Amino acid sequence: MKKSFFPTYSRRLFSAFVVPLLCIVSHTRAQSVVHYADPLIGSEGGGHVFVGACLPFGMVKLGPDMVGHSNSGYRSDSPIEGLSHTHVSGTGGGAKYGNISVMPASGSIDLTDYTSGWNNEKNTPGYFSVQLDKPKVQAELTATHSVGFHRYTFEGNSGHILIEAGHFLFTGSEYGHGPFGEAQQLVGSEIKVLSNTQAEGYVRVRGGWNYGEAYTVYFYAQLNQPASAVGTWKGTEKHAGNRLEYDTGEKTGAWFSFSALKQKQVMVKVGISFVSTNKAKANLQKEINHWDFDKIKTKAEVTWNDALSRIIIEGKKSLKTIFYTGLYHSMLMPVDRTGENPLWKSDKAYYDDYYAIWDTFRTTNPLLLLIMQDRHIAMLESLLDIYKHEGYMPDARSGNSNGRTQGGSNCDILFAEAFLKELEGLDYQLALEAMLKNAEVPPGGNEQQAGRGGLRDYNSIGYVSYDFERSGSRTMEYANCDYAIATLAEGLGKKQIAETYYSKSSNWKNLWRDDYEDRDTKGFIYPRLANGDWIPEYDFMEYGYWPVKFYEGRSWNYSFYVPHDVRALVDRSGGKDLFLKRLDTFFAEGLYDVGNEPDFLTPAWYSYVGEYPQTAQRTHAIMKDNFTTMRDGLPGNDDSGAMSSWYIFHAMGFYPVAGQDVYLVTSPLITHAVMDIGPDKKLEIEVKNASAKNMYVTSMTINGEVWEKAWFQHKDIAQGGKITFTMGSKPSDWGKSIVPPSNSDRQ
């Protein structure tokens, strides 16, 4: 990377503003904020967040699986059937993981029903507990990166511990194609009782939302006291005294019985690995070499506090609860599986469960780039390593398999943004190579797994034709990805490539139908046949997922999706007045979907026509009306923290335009914040006159400089410093005169 390509702060500005600030806030990381995070927010109402114990980006996500299952395993209305070690968070569609389950039991073991009612659950970062009804047991869970730690306190003097090697989540058979749809399918499992305190084994599962190849989770388990009897099962057949069940294509498990408990608390440590049982055992021995449950619980809490305290905010308690819960959710995925890649050996980091970049490139990734640069670099290195070994960077990946690609090749946007924001240590030449392959080489086979579907159309006639599903949304997203390619190519001095892709980034115009009218609004993105004809009249309000014209949206939603060239979009919509009317209709008619990614940026589009006050009004109302401290406190799937990160940015008063170096000013809810944005770099945010009614920024400074724009660039805060917002209850002329940049400005 050529350092001269980027503007930088002068040493004088750095000394004047950042050094004094460091003296003031150097203690912030020691503050305790972890108690504000409530992992149960978003567990109901479609948020689908993970409930249980884990570390930031941890491989083990140890939590309850309820009867009927869900994407995260958790349901508040069903009995618990097991406590398993692998989960995802915030996802839709078919479930993934739910592997290696442990469950206490009592009396005669009934393999047809060892579920339990429950009450008094508690979930804090790194810890989960629940009171089971059958048997009367308090179940407590904590975790390290690769090990789940269970503590079961029995009321009675006898009981069992069941370990089900073959457990997995099964939902999604009603979605997708084939007899299983998006559901997981068991390939096989095996369990071996090594002694009356030890067991090992594995489960192999295929499928799930991403139609993934079979993945294998290995485990090694230890108990803190010897069982008086052991046995195994296969399917529903019990084999008392048996110590081995081979891989038979059926669910296998083992039980450890205690006829007279020496201690009321039975503890179980379970190490997992995606490589081997030996690696699972090594993980356990390395990470927990003792039986002090509370020590591990405390260590997990400290780890989470360190991560969450990268941003220290001031405001009402309810605001802090929503904010830190959102920050917690943004640090669950992807999962750091460095050293756990069964497919190839590499000295690079390995991350899995990019689930999905289509969601996270908009908010979660820009947030991590800002507050966890080293972590974000490792994630991007992992994407490049996947490209080197498998031929494409994924748009989604889980269980060591790419898929599914919902829209564009959105890794393109991650690398363009990283380059513009001067993230060092990445091979940007290799990134450009991978991005160009996305844009120029059809993936062949199943176009949902990698690359760009309908690419031959897009590169020959300038749009994805109706012959391919999701033709409207794909065209819009490909154009934005092409802009990302052009941006990186220009930065690397590849002028011809840059000009080619800047031109292709206008391909969205090839689907703009000027004469189509809906709700007194004229001009929309509209599907076309390969011969150039518009498709016949169709249900313009159609909404769906895969075999549709627009993915998770309608033409109304995607007709706003030109984040790289809003100026051109405004012109095509008929100018400022008609664009404002279009936006107002969009919100008034209930067409805006706060819970879905294609609309994430739309509330801020008012600023591109010099109407910042309406950006503030919209974003303020959306935050207040849709995010709460209740269990259904998220407006939709959290999608690996994408929804939560949307809130975090807006609550701080600015929002990223993904793939660019621009942040849009919105409407801060906090009163003060200090962000840790790198070694010895702090960004302070002060909000003057903050109150519930004062939603409008009426003046602003950055590092003491009067700021008249309702946007700023990353270089303005990259070295830290201070943003000061002054709020008011009425709109003003602030922020109206200079609109954010668009690709059309280059001409």
d(CA 718, CA 683): 9
pLDDT at 640 over 90: yes
* Average pLDDT over all residues of the chain: 95
**Residue tagged 């109206």 (tokens):** 736
pLDDT at 13 over 50: no
pLDDT of residue 553: 98
pLDDT of residue 22: 40
pLDDT at 392 over 90: yes
> What's the distance, Cα to Cα, between the start and end of the chain in Å?
26
CB 166 within 8 A of CB 186: yes
Beta strands at 681-688 and 721-728: parallel, antiparallel or unpaired: parallel
pLDDT of residue 400: 98
Q: Count CB neighbours of 436 within 10 A.
A: 17
Report the interhelical angle of 411-420 vs 373-390 (nearest 10°): 140
The amino acid sitting at 206 is R
**Residue tagged 């069940």 (tokens):** 245
CB 84 within 8 A of CB 100: yes
What would the pLDDT profile of 316-334 be if each residue is shown by its tens digit? 999 999 999 999 999 999 9
CATH architecture of 311-746: 2-Layer Sandwich (3.30)
pLDDT at 6 over 60: no
**Residue tagged 């508040």 (tokens):** 76
Would you give the DSSP letter of residue 535? P
What would the pLDDT profile of 17-47 be if each residue is shown by its tens digit? 343 344 334 434 459 999 999 999 999 999 9
User: Cα–Cα–Cα angle for 664, 326, 607, nearest 5°?
Assistant: 15
CB 607 within 8 A of CB 616: no
Q: Is 224 exposed, middle or buried (0-12, 13-18, 19+ CB in 10 A)?
A: middle
Instruction: Please choose, from the candidates 594, 620, 558, 611, the residue with its C-alpha nearest in 3D space to the C-alpha of residue 740.
Output: 611
pLDDT at 282 over 90: yes
Peptide bond preceding 135 in cis form (omega within 30 of 0): yes
> By percentage, how much of the chain surpasses pLDDT 90?
92
> Residue 347: which residues within 8 A CB-CB, separation 6 or more?
none
This model's pTM is above 0.85 = yes
pLDDT of residue 173: 82
d(CA 370, CA 383): 19
pLDDT at 307 over 70: yes
What would the pLDDT profile of 191-208 be if each residue is shown by its tens digit? 999 999 999 999 999 999
d(CA 93, CA 96): 9
pLDDT at 506 over 80: yes
Q: Count CB neighbours of 510 within 10 A.
A: 16
172: left (phi over 0), alpha (psi -120 to 50) or beta: left
Which value, in Å, is the radius of gyration of the alpha carbons in the chain? Answer: 26
d(CA 22, CA 26): 5
Domain map (residue ranges) of the chain: 40-304, 311-746
pLDDT of residue 472: 99
CATH 3.40.50.720 fits 40-304, yes or no: no
What would the pLDDT profile of 428-484 be if each residue is shown by its tens digit? 999 999 999 999 999 988 888 999 999 999 999 999 999 999 999 999 999 999 999
CB 398 within 8 A of CB 640: no
DSSP per residue, 68-80:
T--SSS--TTS-E
683: left (phi over 0), alpha (psi -120 to 50) or beta: beta
What would the pLDDT profile of 400-436 be if each residue is shown by its tens digit? 999 999 999 999 999 999 999 999 999 999 999 999 9
User: Cα–Cα–Cα angle for 562, 563, 565, nearest 5°?
Assistant: 70
pLDDT of residue 375: 98
CB 155 within 8 A of CB 137: yes
